[in-house]
Chain A
């Protein structure tokens, strides 16, 4: 099967060059994508590819000819020439011309790609963070965290019972995709909360680094509805392979519906967050917080990753005194900066809820109910 696919290489490349629109990304070539800039990048890529092929055929052709014809075993006598100004000038000028021929379209495409949309229809702030993406829609008042989907997460563990091959979108699936409308200008303002990440969806045609302390704008306009998948593309620590980027492009009507739905859900959550605090409410709210903030390292099942992220189920801290547990959540770990301080990211009540959840979820039945007042005192 492998070899048959390899034989397809030249054929795929040629058809890909001619295809006006390519539905599925190819296994051998860059995807043509669903935005104008992705198609421009693809055309640029194919132009470069054919130029390289042409030069390669020329240079390797001459070289191979010499290897075959000018062998001593065939009786070739070495001639003595070692200079020829004309030839040297010619083969300096021709590459210059080729390069100018490449540079002109490349510059044009580059300028176009970087041209900001005059008035974006939708703005999304994209926060990279170890190891998840947070999407904030400032105008719609929506924000959510996008984590690797649990199917992939379970199958990605060492000695997992699940098989990666049983996940059709293994490592390319998230719980909450970014949703955007088709045919509209969407401005992504990309930044990071900790280290450098890079937001990349091949079918959208570019990647942008997520750099702490800086917003990198990227304007996209997607023509066709669909689900487009990519991954973080800048080494960002041990979870680097586990932060996929999934974009769902939907029609503007569906998009409006989605926004309404999200706002409703947010209202519900806010209500939950202000409901009288008791064990049941704390567990529910705590699970929400846990899934978006903690699960990317400690795993949804609390088992962590041996040798890298400690297990919370039956852990020394999660089943020991509450004080120690609060301290590490609020102030982070002294030993390992990857366990960040959540004190200024989460409210007293959120911390109380998530700590309550961690102390009672899985098999950690400590029975402790941690209150927001206790968190305030521990700060």
Chain B
């Protein structure tokens, strides 16, 4: 449709800056270059991680002791709500999209994304959305406090005015994600180098292809849910208003039909990253490549039919509970296959432990622990006890922090030398790793115990018997938070200079991205890679 308009614009762009980026401050505003856009996504994700992290530390500081010390309950609820929304929509998702923008064209041998101009738009929707999200803190009655799940009627009838801004922000972020997803899908399907069959694609590209489709399913569903909230608030509908014949449970069904796929949107690309790194540092091909891809596809399908496992206590018919218990348990099978395959990749390898590998290994260990608690949560009779306790908070953070976030950090350490052309200080990177991995467990492991002992989630104050666990968690969270300053320092150093990285800084790494110079030229593959290179760098190149 706007394809021709786009290509005209792109051509203009091209003529302006044939050999490099545009000069001056407009470079970043107008850039359509996939590497620039990728960089901007990564910077935004880092900023959001800090903002959301400060909120998490405020939460943890309040919970250090029983009693209220820092925050009033309503402000505390705003903090948990905004922490969740910020981390999911502005830290993890843009982080993964940023990696895709940088790496997908490099991995498939393309010169840019399919729609470079749309790529720029999709990114620039996010900063205004972030402001709309956070501005609630400065509005009368403060930011919404209904949790990132926005359950009605707490987030419709009983919400402060700022909820309308949050809903608009979610709409914008959703449109941005959909455009980003379409762009990535089309880049992968239409711009692959000659000789690269679908089954030969690198795993990171594969997982993003599937994630792209999942985004197209999930984001419109979220848009529907929050639009219904909005019309309930302002246009006199009563979808979720029981006093006028509506049903609050309907909101939960729609929300989780988005929400469960959403957690896979945050983890599938992480699987992809780990599947790149483990073979590279084991110096062996990925074990069971085909079953890895099928496992991702299976997980994607299953993720669309398990949503009600977030609603076991809401009063569903028992038959429905049984059904959702079974489908949820099924996810353990493809997930297990993936973990076994990673372990088998390491088996009889020749392993070294550079920073990316350390983070990938921590991912496998800790994500598995998150998987175990997930299996336990799937069991309905036990979930009647676990539901909405700190056991869930522990589970959620094992999959999302030591899962998604650790994989993103692993990916940054893996590809940063390629992006900047410089190595980072690997001793410091190891400090970053060990401090993070120890403190993250000190933070989240005790939450399992607090939950089992009966501590509900989302409370600003708690009974005395939960005190020790909360004190430990809080200490851990501050160490974890401040350790991330090392990460930022390492990135800045590597951007500024340092030891030259060379084209292939990791001897075991395979893939088209490593055939380019570091940093890659502004117009990535000005000459498409030859079919021979594609073959050598593909999965069969190891043999």
Contact = CB atoms under 8 A, between A and B. Distances in A.
Interface stretch (A66-74, A132-140, A311-319): A66-74
B382 A87 contact: no
Given A78-B348, A92-B333, A103-B325, A156 B67 contact: yes
Interface stretch (A118-126, A210-218, A219-227, A322-330): A210-218
B382 A66 contact: no
Contacts of A84: 287, 344
Contact of A44 (B73, B157, B379, B471): B379
Contacts of A200: 456
Interface in A41-62: 41, 44-45, 48-49, 51-52, 55-56, 59-60, 62
Interface string A85-103: 0011001100110010011
Given A66-B343, A102-B329, A240-B77, A208 B248 contact: no
A48 B376 contact: yes
B431 interface: no
Nearest to A202: B454
B289 A165 contact: no
Contacts of B248: 196, 211-213
Nearest to B142: A307
B141 A88 contact: no
Contacts of A158: 68-69, 72
A314 to B, nearest CB: 20
Given A62-B347, A102-B329, A160-B67, A305 B542 contact: no
B384 A41 contact: yes
Given A56-B368, A88-B288, A196-B151, A240 B348 contact: no
B249 interface: yes
Given A67-B361, A76-B348, A82 B153 contact: no
B153 A164 contact: no
Contacts of B349: 66, 70, 76, 78-79
A99 B348 contact: no
Given A72-B352, A88-B288, A211-B249, A241 B385 contact: no
B69 A29 contact: no
Interface in A164-192: 164-165, 167-172
A76 to B, nearest CB: 5
Contacts of B236: none
Interface size class, chain A? 35 or more
B519 interface: no
Contacts of B314: 209, 211, 216
A207 B72 contact: no
A265 interface: no
B372 A55 contact: yes
Interface stretch (B277-285, B408-416, B492-500): B277-285
B333 A95 contact: yes
Nearest to A239: B73
B283 A202 contact: no
Contacts of B456: 200, 231-233, 240-241
Given A30-B385, A213-B243, A241-B461, A79 B453 contact: no
Given A156-B68, A198-B388, A240-B458, A63 B365 contact: yes
A160 B462 CA distance: 15
Given A213-B243, A307-B72, A62 B282 contact: no
Contacts of A37: 381, 384
Interface string B444-476: 000001001110111111111100100110000
B351 A106 contact: no
B166 to A, nearest CB: 15
Closest 6 CB pairs of A and B: A213-B242, A212-B242, A206-B384, A241-B459, A216-B315, A82-B285
10 contacts: A29-B453, A48-B379, A48-B382, A99-B332, A158-B68, A196-B153, A206-B313, A206-B385, A237-B154, A307-B75
Given A51-B375, A99-B330, A164-B464, 10 more contacts: A41-B381, A67-B351, A70-B351, A71-B353, A78-B349, A88-B340, A207-B313, A208-B313, A237-B145, A308-B73
